[in-house]
Chain A
Amino acid sequence: MNDLKEKVAHGVFLLAAITSILSLVVIVIFIFTNGLPMMIDYGVFDFLLGTTWNRTTFGILPMIVGSIVVTIGAVLIGVPVGIFTAIFMAEFCPPSVYRFLKPAVNLMAGIPSILYGFFALRIIVPWVRDTFGGPGNSMLAAILLLGIMILPTIISLSESAIRSVPRSYYSGSIALGASKERSIFAVLVPAAKSGIFSSVVLGVGRAIGETMAVVMVAGNQPIMPRGLTQGVRTLTTNIVMEMAYASGQHRDALVATGVVLFVFVMLINGIFLYIKNKEAK
């Protein structure tokens, strides 16, 4: 009797566990079977390297470049600020302050992207327009916005990476006469580098995949990026801008844009998993 119960439970749990794999497989199948044929039909090179995007011509190079540039910009801003903040939280911060900061970081991670986007639309866009000229809805606005949005990811992962470095590293360094700062920056941070790096990778993933906040501030022109104060369209915003009405080959082209985005995200995930596995060993 009990034996049967155990067997049934085992089966049910296994079934539940397979849901994830199944979902992933279905997602991949549906995105790729809807997107790839269009790409091949249209010509992979024309699609990936074409610089014109309109109702009949589907070249997504501007969006690929847009996504990459915006992500790099966000990383340049978010990563140093995030890592320094993580160092503060792990090493400088007295427990009484930490009690407030830790939930604050969690809150930052929990704030919906729509609120970030709205905030950026009302604050960052006018600020960029007044300070740097141009229309305001621009690459710079998107970069600043994403720079803020990836902070919680980078802070919490980097912080736990720094905290997981054995304490003896730090005390050893102090015992050898190094200053607190030197011990932190020359000993702790290098020892935590793979954890910090994986936080950066996840931050990149978040930046490249962000949609709703970016569409509100980026300007969304489907042409090659022309400068920081000019508008830009990313892969994600390309999909969300036009999906509602697209049909036929146009819709497939948007799904194909999704395929390209998916491949980017898979690469990033792959790097992340690789680091994680290496660390585990």
Chain B
Amino acid sequence: MNTLFKWGAILGTTATLVACGNGDAEGTGSNDSASEEFDTSSSLHLVTREVGSGTRDAFAEMINLTDGDNDLIDPAATAQQGTNAVNTTVADDQYAIGYTSVGALNDDIKPVQIDGVDPTAENILAGDYSIARNFNVIRGDELSEQAQAFWDFMFSAEGQAVVEEVGYIQSDTEAPAYEGSDLDLSGDIDVNGSTAVYPVVEAMAEAFGDIHPDVQISVHSTGSGAGVTSAIDGTTDIGMASRDLNDDEVDQVTEVAPIALDGIAVIVHPSNPLESLTVDQVSDIFSGNVSTWDDVSN
């Protein structure tokens, strides 16, 4: 009898915990919390990418927070690994502010206007949205036949069509058609680098695989720094970087070219009333000079 009781207690507690837990999970994942009152006296929760991320480097440079090799983004900001880890963190936390690739925006996060301009494809292409960068691919050495074909494919009309499909902006809207369809290719191609560029190249690799089923393309999402380094030292065929290369890096690679354009959107929780920021404000916020949301509204 006693035993039964003990088991009952354990199971009962577990069930209660699970029930509560589910309630929590639903509350944080969806937009339920959007209806909650936004308390502007709360402190800002800065969310940033890890050091070495191309998005971070490009962002820091465009909001003028660079200092030699390092950036001036507040080291106290929560550092998340990967584009989407930032999205999730901001979607879950009412008082968070972060930045992410425009192509990776979704309904759980709210992009803020920069100097009154929305981060949309048209505005980025027109040059009106100021925080935009190239998605670059890099080659170090001589490419194998199949890697060369993939390289050409990325800059062809077919490849550029993929860019649009996955929600980014084509670097070349008048690209020539892909000419290698008749080639009989096989072998491996290794692509490595930026987590932001990764979805674009991954989708291109799939389209390429439809044409050349015998070619195996492994795409690794590691970070822009890794992409540049491994293209230079030859550990990968093609590197990906979501920032422009510095002069020192350009000297060491054979070719670097943009496959797509992307804006970086400053994102907040959907319940946040904030609509627009100036670049200077963004710079202030991410250097850690603003402590509460009250200070932002002014």
Contacts and interface: CB of A to CB of B under 8 A. Distances in A.
A207 interface: no
A244 B51 CA distance: 11
Given A55-B51, A230-B76, A244-B222, 13 more contacts: A54-B70, A123-B25, A126-B92, A135-B89, A135-B93, A135-B95, A136-B93, A137-B78, A220-B79, A244-B52, A245-B52, A245-B229, A246-B52
A55 B70 contact: yes
Interface string B204-243: 0000000000000000001111110100000000000000
Contacts of B224: 245
B45 A221 contact: no
B169 to A, nearest CB: 25
A54 B75 contact: yes
B68 interface: yes
A226 B76 contact: yes
A108 interface: no
Contacts, number: 95
A134 B45 contact: yes
Contacts of A137: 78, 89
A128 B46 CA distance: 17
10 contacts: A94-B3, A123-B21, A126-B24, A126-B25, A126-B28, A136-B93, A137-B89, A223-B75, A244-B52, A245-B224
Nearest to B77: A221
A244 B21 CA distance: 34
B101 to A, nearest CB: 17
B223 A244 contact: yes
Interface in B1-55: 2-3, 6-7, 21, 24-25, 27-28, 42, 45, 47, 50-52
A245 B222 contact: yes
Instruction: Provide the main secondary structure of the chain A interface.
Output: loop
Max chain B CB contacts within 10 Å: which of A56, A123, A135, A136?
A: A135
B191 interface: no
B81 A215 contact: yes
A96 B5 CA distance: 13
Nearest to A88: B6
Contact of A220 (B50, B68, B222, B223): B50
Interface string A210-241: 00000100011111001000110100000001
Q: Which bucket holds chain A's interface residue count?
A: 35 or more
Contacts of B247: none
Nearest to A233: B79
A247 interface: yes
A247 B226 CA distance: 8
Contacts of B6: 97
B251 interface: no
Q: Which 5 A-B pairs have the closest CB atoms?
A: A245-B225, A245-B226, A245-B52, A135-B45, A244-B222
A244 B70 contact: no
A83 interface: no
A221 B78 contact: yes
A134 B78 CA distance: 11
Contacts of A242: 50-52
A219 B78 contact: yes
B69 A55 contact: yes
Nearest to B85: A216
Interface in B65-103: 68-70, 75-81, 89, 92-93, 95-96
A231 B45 CA distance: 11
A127 interface: yes
B136 to A, nearest CB: 15
Given A241-B81, A242-B50, A97 B45 contact: no
A163 interface: no
A56 B95 CA distance: 31
A129 interface: yes
A165 B95 CA distance: 54
Contact of B92 (A134, A136, A233, A247): A136
Given A219-B78, A245-B52, A56 B70 contact: yes
A122 interface: yes
Interface string A110-146: 0000000000001101110110011111000000000
Contact of A135 (B27, B96, B223, B226): B96
Interface in A33-90: 52-57
Contacts of A221: 75-79
B52 A219 contact: no
Nearest to B28: A126
Nearest to B27: A126
A168 to B, nearest CB: 27
A90 to B, nearest CB: 15
A55 B81 CA distance: 16
